[in-house]
């Protein structure tokens, strides 16, 4: 049977009244079974974009200078972090941070907030020792980070971001990445503490389920809870949360916030916050703007003294009210 768009168009006008051109074309595409290839094409474009982002990130790492740290072991009487007059850029011709100083004491939460691209994540990653600084100093327990062997430094820190990578392995082994010597009971205890044992046990093979590359077989909330379980298993004294709940749906956010609360108990905590309501109880909130710390203080204090923070808070509250409608 020959297909005639003109006849089909007349049929839809007669039987159902007038149709918008877009609606008519959509109906034809679906009727011919063309939706799947089109959706696949869009997914392919999205995948290419993700690959491009990943390649750019890898390229940035490869171009970075190799870290040169001391080899002699250090002892830590505390896990206070001090950032003093740090100026930093990933490339010589580009400064991201300009003369930044901030104290992050042990057993406290320091929140970094500010506009996108202000330097929050860069500051947190420097405090975690991901890059070395040339101008200024960063110390942990009084030791310059460059005087601490890298393996020893990274043992002190657990980093949880919004883009935690899961390997194409079992749930169990992905959690065990936090502490490779952990036995199965310790892995499952960490999963329970992170609030993810319930959904894990509902998977086809429970802890032995393969999660797929990047955790493709799991939802975003499930991947995030496994990443938190991994950090709990590591039990590092310093926790960095880089917008760890930025894109989590409300249903998962409650569970994840509860898990994060357990994760950060009695730790030195650095939080890069997307949702300001999650950090109003922080011991210190630093407002980062254009590579500088514009203001520091507690939530109520900043509402009174910092215009940028007040604007961000009002925008956040407005967004929450809009979501509730």
Residue 12: both structure tokens together: 């839809």
Identify whether residues 316 and 178 lie together within a single domain: yes
Whole-angstrom distance, CA of residue 238 vs CA of residue 250: 27
Cα–Cα distances in Å, from 248 out to 219, 222, 256?
10, 10, 9
Per-residue pLDDT tens over the stretch 38-52: 545 544 554 444 455
Q: What is the pLDDT of residue 318?
A: 75
User: 177: number of CA atoms within 13 Å, CB side?
Assistant: 20
Whole-angstrom distance, CA of residue 23 vs CA of residue 27: 6
Strand (E) or helix (H) holding 301: helix 299-305
Identify whether residues 128 and 258 lie together within a single domain: yes
Region for residue 129 given its phi and psi (left: phi exceeds 0; alpha: psi -120 to 50; beta: otherwise): left
Identify whether residues 36 and 121 lie together within a single domain: no
3-state secondary structure of 270: strand
Q: Is residue 242 pLDDT above 80, yes or no?
A: yes
Any domain includes 74:
no
| Among candidate residues 301, 257, 243, 261, the one with its CA nearest the CA of residue 114 | 243
Any domain includes 105:
yes
Whole-angstrom distance, CA of residue 272 vs CA of residue 125: 10
Q: What is the pLDDT of residue 59?
A: 57
When the pLDDT of each residue in the chain is averaged and rounded to a whole number, the result is: 79
| Among candidate residues 226, 214, 135, the one with its CA nearest the CA of residue 188 | 226
Per-residue pLDDT tens over the stretch 193-203: 888 888 999 99
Residue 255: both structure tokens together: 């569970």
Among the ranges 14-18, 52-56, 155-159, 193-197, which has the highest mean pLDDT value?
155-159
Whole-angstrom distance, CA of residue 276 vs CA of residue 83: 23
**Domain interval for residue 201:** 81-324
Per-residue pLDDT tens over the stretch 184-194: 999 999 998 88
Any domain includes 75:
no
Please tell me the total count of domains within the chain.
2
Any domain includes 71:
no
Per-residue pLDDT tens over the stretch 85-100: 999 988 877 889 999 9
Identify whether residues 226 and 108 lie together within a single domain: yes
Residue 166: both structure tokens together: 């899961």
Any domain includes 252:
yes
């Amino acid at each position: 049977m020959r297909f005639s768009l003109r006849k089909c168009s007349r049929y839809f006008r007669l039987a159902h009244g007038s149709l918008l051109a877009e609606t008519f074309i959509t109906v034809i595409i679906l009727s011919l079974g063309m939706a799947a290839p089109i959706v696949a094409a869009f997914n392919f474009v999205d995948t290419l974009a993700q690959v491009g982002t990943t390649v750019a990130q890898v390229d940035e790492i490869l171009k970075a200078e190799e870290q040169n740290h001391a080899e002699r072991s250090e002892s830590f009487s505390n896990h206070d972090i001090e950032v003093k007059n740090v100026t930093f850029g990933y490339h010589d011709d580009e400064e991201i941070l300009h003369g930044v100083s901030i104290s992050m004491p042990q057993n406290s939460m320091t929140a970094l907030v500010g506009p996108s691209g202000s330097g929050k994540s860069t500051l947190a990653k420097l405090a975690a020792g991901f890059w070395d600084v040339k101008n200024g100093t960063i110390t942990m327990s009084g030791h310059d980070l460059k005087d601490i062997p890298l393996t020893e430094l990274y043992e002190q820190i657990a980093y949880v971001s919004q883009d935690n990578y899961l390997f194409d392995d079992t749930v169990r082994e992905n959690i065990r990445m936090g502490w490779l010597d952990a036995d199965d009971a310790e892995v499952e205890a960490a999963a329970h503490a992170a609030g993810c044992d319930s959904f894990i046990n509902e998977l086809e093979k429970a802890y032995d389920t393969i999660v797929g590359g990047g955790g493709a077989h799991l939802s975003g909330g499930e991947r995030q809870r496994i990443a938190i379980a991994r950090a709990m298993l590591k039990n590092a004294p310093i926790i960095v949360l880089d917008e760890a709940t930025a894109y989590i749906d409300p249903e998962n956010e409650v569970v994840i916030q509860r898990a994060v609360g357990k994760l950060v108990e009695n730790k030195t905590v650095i939080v890069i916050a997307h949702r300001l309501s999650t950090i109003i109880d922080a011991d210190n909130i630093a407002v980062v703007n254009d590579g500088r710390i514009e203001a520091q203080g507690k939530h109520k204090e900043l509402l009174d003294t910092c215009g940028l923070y007040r604007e961000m808070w009002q925008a956040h509250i407005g967004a929450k009210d809009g979501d509730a409608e």
